[in-house]
Copies of this chain bind each other. A is one copy, B any other.
Amino acid sequence: MKPRLTFRLVLGETIALGPGKVQLLEAIHETGSIAAAGRSMNMSYKRAWHLVDTMNRCFKSPLVETAKGGARGGGAALTPLAEEVIGRYRRLEAQAREATDAELAELGAHLAPDVRGD
Partner-B contacts on A (CB < 8 A) = 1, 3-17, 54, 57-60, 81, 84-85, 88-89, 91-92, 95-96, 98-100, 103-104, 106-108, 110-112, 114-118
Contacts and interface: CB of A to CB of B under 8 A. Distances in A.
A10 B3 contact: yes
Contacts of A98: 99
B95 A107 contact: no
A23 to B, nearest CB: 14
B118 A104 contact: no
A95 B106 CA distance: 14
A106 to B, nearest CB: 6
Given A1-B11, A9-B3, A106 B118 contact: no
Contacts of A13: 116-118
Contact of A99 (B15, B99, B106): B99
Contacts of A114: 12
